[in-house]
């Protein structure tokens, strides 16, 4: 099953429809439409090339994650000139969290563009957030960093983020994953795989291991933050159910 807004018309018509939709939602005209089509191609709908390499949005997602994080970090650094590194790191984690990006992508209606062989998004709640990150990667390649920054700040953050609300929201995914593991009688470990960089700019790669099986990894500038990011990813993968409300947590 292919999930897509685009009707089975010609390739040229589909491309024009996607370009028009991007312009309506994000306020700019795409240059290389192929990049944006690729951004919305889930790995379940990956296309095989002649050399047996499967093409999906995973590489663009990787790039978009880094670009999004950098732009949000710069935004917060300027917005909160008196706040320390811990506050800024926590705010950035909240703004680029998988749950936040899933909600954002749904609000923007991006699920209409995603090509996937999965029956529905309920089996992979992170699909929409992944597609948004891949879209940012495509935008960066197509238009450059400054243009991407402008689109994110003026068309996304300014209209779809409530900074005051985000500040007061407490979401401890590590605690929730621990609660889930206890409830399901699973063994849970957070393992530091690597440490890179110097003492002033060190990054930690943390892996979540459940019942001895590696589940996912995340990188950040502190072990605690990397664990939280990894826990968020693992919670989505392992719990596969709506997160409890703060009153339920």
| Catalytically annotated residue among 65, 142, 232, 236 | 65
74 is an active site residue: no
- Whether the Cβ atoms of residue 89 and residue 225 lie closer than 8 Å to each other: yes
Instruction: Give me 48's structure tokens.
Output: 């095989």
| Catalytically annotated residue among 61, 90, 111, 133 | 133
- CA gap 104, 124 in Å, rounded: 16
- For 2, other C-beta atoms within 10 Å of its C-beta total 13
In our burial notation (b when 16+ CB lie closer than 10 A, e otherwise), range 198-226 reads: eeeeeebbbbbebeeeebbbbbbbeebbb
Name the pairing type of β-strands 54-55 and 47-48.
Answer: antiparallel
Grouping H, G, I as helix, E, B as strand and the rest as coil, residue 88 is helix
- DSSP secondary structure string, 132-153? HHHHHHHHHHHH-HHHHHHHII
Residue 215 is inside which H or E element, if any?
Answer: strand 213-220
236 is an active site residue: no
Tokens 């998004």 appear where?
121
Residues catalogued as catalytic: 65, 133
């Amino acid at each position: 099953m292919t999930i897509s807004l685009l009707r089975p018309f010609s390739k040229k018509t589909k491309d024009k429809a996607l370009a028009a939709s991007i312009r309506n939602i994000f306020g700019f005209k795409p240059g290389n439409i192929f990049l944006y089509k690729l951004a919305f191609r889930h790995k379940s709908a990956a296309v095989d090339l002649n050399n047996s390499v499967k093409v999906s949005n995973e590489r663009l997602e990787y790039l978009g994650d880094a670009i999004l994080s950098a732009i949000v970090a710069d935004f917060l650094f300027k917005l909160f000139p008196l706040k320390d590194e811990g506050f800024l790191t926590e705010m950035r984690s909240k703004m680029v969290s998988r749950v936040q990006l899933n909600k954002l992508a749904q609000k923007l209606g991006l699920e209409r563009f995603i090509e996937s062989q999965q029956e529905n998004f309920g089996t992979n709640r992170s699909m929409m957030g992944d597609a948004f990150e891949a879209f940012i990667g495509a935008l960066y390649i197509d238009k450059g960093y400054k243009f991407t920054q402008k689109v994110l700040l003026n068309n996304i953050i300014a209209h779809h983020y409530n900074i005051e609300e985000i500040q007061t929201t407490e979401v401890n995914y590590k605690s929730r994953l621990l609660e889930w593991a206890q409830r399901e009688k699973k063994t849970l470990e957070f393992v530091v795989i690597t440490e890179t960089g110097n003492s002033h700019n060190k990054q930690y790669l943390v892996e979540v291991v459940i019942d001895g099986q590696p589940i996912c990894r995340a990188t950040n500038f502190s072990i605690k933050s990397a664990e939280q990011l990894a826990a968020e990813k693992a919670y989505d993968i392992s719990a596969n159910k709506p997160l409890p409300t703060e009153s339920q947590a």
